[in-house]
């Protein structure tokens, strides 16, 4: 079910005492945003990176415990090399800036995905942010980088099979399986937001999304704002979440 609010007044009707604990976002529409403005796709990714910064800050400020964003999928390597390079460069720039602010702003940062193919510089920055994050509690921002839901499930299944072979008869329970996922320490997303008009998960958090509420909007990611987040949260708060019950 998708609902679009018509006014900014409706967008502001959020119960800030009853927020979703975990919001996940598929950041989609950067390329189309740039094309509409006769700009190169890389300009769209730069605008999208700035939107991510603003949205993450807003989610922290209103009290969201976890924000997970889809930054780069296992399939995104198929894009032109210059576009992939630009995306990785923007991420490096963001992490350099984030390291200076993380402890001041009390924002933890974790990365989900296979970091093996990434550059040594980017892997070092990821390790540094992870080390800083281990020192305190705060809003946790999860960045899915070289991430794919199917890949994550396959890796978890292999780990469970290895544990079973070693004699762990409980290796294939739902709880044990969940502990083998990159998201092992955090709750499943309550709300998944996809800007850009597409209505699919695109290999994002396939296991974790079993009972997530899915919110789709035509707004392209670089145009996303706190009003858009409020619309999604207000919509979420109207949902009756039964988790298979009555």
Residue that is written with structure tokens 């609902």 in the block: 3
Give one DSSP letter per residue of 67-129, joined into a string: EEEEEEETTGGGS-HHHHHHHHHHHHHHHHHHHHHHHHHTEEEEEES--TTS-HHHHHHHHHH
Catalytic sites, residue numbers: 28, 76
Query: Which tokens belong to 7?
Result: 């006014």
How long is the chain? Answer: 246
Q: CA-to-CA distance for 182 and 34, rounded, in angstroms?
A: 32
CB 111 within 8 A of CB 145: yes
Q: Which helix (H) or strand (E) holds 194?
A: strand 191-194
């Amino acid at each position: 079910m998708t609902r679009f609010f018509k006014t900014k007044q409706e967008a502001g009707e959020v119960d800030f005492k009853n927020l979703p604990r975990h919001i996940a976002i598929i950041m989609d529409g950067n390329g189309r945003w740039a094309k509409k403005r006769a700009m190169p796709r890389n300009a769209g990714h730069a605008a999208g990176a700035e939107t991510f910064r603003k949205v993450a800050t807003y989610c922290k400020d209103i009290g969201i415990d976890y924000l997970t964003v889809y930054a780069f999928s296992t399939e995104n390597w198929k894009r032109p090399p210059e576009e992939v390079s630009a995306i990785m460069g923007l991420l490096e720039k963001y992490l350099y800036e984030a390291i200076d602010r993380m402890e001041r702003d009390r924002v933890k940062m974790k990365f989900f995905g296979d970091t093996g193919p990434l550059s040594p510089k980017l892997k070092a920055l990821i390790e540094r942010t992870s080390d800083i994050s281990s020192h305190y509690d705060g809003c946790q921002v999860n960045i899915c980088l070289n991430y794919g839901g199917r890949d994550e499930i396959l890796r978890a299944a292999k780990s469970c099979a290895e544990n079973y072979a070693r004699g762990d008869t409980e290796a294939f329970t739902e709880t044990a399986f969940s502990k083998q996922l990159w998201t092992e320490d955090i709750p499943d997303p309550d709300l998944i937001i996809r800007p850009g008009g597409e209505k699919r998960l695109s290999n994002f958090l396939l296991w974790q999304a079993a009972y997530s509420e899915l919110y789709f909007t035509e707004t392209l990611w670089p145009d996303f704002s706190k009003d858009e987040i409020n619309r999604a949260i207000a919509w979420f708060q109207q949902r009756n979440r039964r988790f298979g019950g009555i």
